[in-house]
Amino acid sequence: MKKFLLVLIFLLAFVLRFWQLGVNPSSLDWDEASLGYNAYSLLKTGKDEYGTSWPLAIRSFSDFKPPLYTYLTMIPVGLFGLNEFSTRFISALFGFLTVLVVYLLIKELFPKKSFLFFVLCTLFFAVSPWHIQFSRIAFEANLALFFFISGIWLFLKGLKSGKYFLFSFLAFSLSCYAYHSERLVVPLLLLGLVVIFRNEIRKNLSWFVFSGFIFFLTLLPLIGQLKATGARFGSVTILNNSKLGDSIKAQELDTQSDNILGKFIHNRRIVFGREVLGGYLDHFNFDFLFLTGDAPGRHHAAGMGMLYFWDLPFILLGILYLLKNPDKNTKGLFWWFLVAPAASAITSGTPHAVRALLYLPTYQIFAAVGVVGLFKSRKINITKKIIIIAVIFGLFILNFFYYLHMYYLHTPKEYSQWWQYGYKEVVSEVSKIEDNYQKVIITYAYDQPYIYFLFYNQTDPSWYQRTWNGGEIQRENREFGKYEFRKIDWQRDSKLSKTLLVGTPTEIPQGAEGLLSEIKFLDGSVAFRIVSR
């Protein structure tokens, strides 16, 4: 019966991550399209879209993505072709595998807990809206989470049998090749685990030291990528945030002082510290966790936070129960919980669901502890326990089906603009008639349109690599073949001839002469107008 129950949970986890994977979300966003096309390019030529052979950082839109997701995606692209399903396959697969690892982790973390606790932890994580969201889109953070959690599980096993330390450090290393956040959080996590479990580590010190040395060696290639990583860090860190600059300027400097520079540095440190602390605390925001999620509509279902609303009282109860008599494993869990948003805290746009994905499954563990603790409380009689179970089960079912309703019915319509919906339809329409034109100009208003033409046309990577001369590519005014990607200037562009224009409603007026078609978002508003000149 126990095995059957677990199989049902794993089956549910699989279905939630794979059903309609290529259909919902409603479109690939530009990062997904970039990952898919670069995997296709590497598969066909051994080079990324810019012609770099087997890079350790995927340049993409000059945000230099870690390479692991792209390289693994070569497999499903080779098997299923270049499409939405193959691009998202790795995330869905490792999302499902993460559910299996979470079950193994909690058995190692709480070996004396009941089977009911193991089942609830696994179930709560399997249906987590936060994890389902990122298991169904090609985001590197979800792949990194699998290796991160695997690293923790194997680390705990290494405390008993030292050889597992080697596998633990290798898993942590792979997580660093999968996503940027792990490059800060993993060292912080390991530092705390070493302090907490220092006595246990001494018993297997040789294995630990050897594994740590291998960990260092495997990360050495990343040092050569510091420039690329720095470019990514510079684009998202609060050090590059105008708000930080404004805050510093707001600090009055004593212009009569002989130590103006010293005061400026002092004020900068204060402001930076305040911004980091504020960014860190943002991740405990009630609205973010339980009501609305973070700002990007790609990161959560419509009308949902990152967690179920019913989770709240049981998370709080679980934390209280664990704090009463914390053992070393519990201290390790709390340290994990505290450092999880560290990387996200130093970036702009907090709270950020992707960069803080490393929280999972700590919230689900807390909730399970709360539910089981309440059920086993000696202060509650059997009648009240039956009522509590019925209420908990009812709230869980209602919240779960509400989430499915919002995710599959409302989110595609309400958030299609966040997913750059319409580009696939644009490519399809343009491909039918482009032979009749000398030039095709596509708006850059929605950002990165070129990648969709490479992806959906399955443009020959060898040919495209030759069109790039090795210099800096402008964010706009990118061209290849007869395609030109830039903002549409209607007064000027309407005078062109033998040209196909693809623009937004603000660029091309309604009823424009030569209007061929309109492509609409799923909420019915116009996304693109295609005009013949």
pLDDT tens by residue, 105-141: 999 999 999 999 999 999 999 999 999 999 999 999 9
Question: What is the tens place of the pLDDT at every residue in 377-434?
Answer: 877 888 887 888 898 899 999 999 999 999 999 999 999 999 999 999 999 999 999 9
SS3 197: coil
Beta bridge partners of 528: 519
Nearest Cα residue to 372 out of 9, 112, 153, 152: 112
Closest Cα partner for 336 from 505, 208, 155? 155
| Residue indicated by tokens 């990577």 | 461
Lowest mean pLDDT among 257-261, 345-349, 457-461, 517-521: 257-261
The helix or strand, by DSSP H or E, that contains position 499, with its residue range, turns out to be strand 499-503
pLDDT band at 249 (very low <50, low <70, confident <90, very high): low
Kindly state the tokens that stand for 321.
Answer: 């129960």
Q: Which of 132-136, 240-244, 255-259, 277-281 has the highest mean pLDDT?
A: 132-136
pLDDT by residue (tens digit) across 173-201? 999 999 999 999 999 999 999 999 999 99
Q: Which two tokens stand for residue 192?
A: 């705390």
Give the confidence band of 252 by pLDDT, cuts at 50, 70, 90.
very low
pLDDT exceeds cutoff 90 at 245: no
Give the pTM: 0.93
For 404-443, give the DSSP string.
HHIIIIIHHHHSGGGGTTTHHHHHHHHHHHGGG-SEEEE-
Cβ neighbours for 73, distance < 8 A, ≥ 6 positions apart: 35, 36, 39, 86, 87, 89, 90, 138
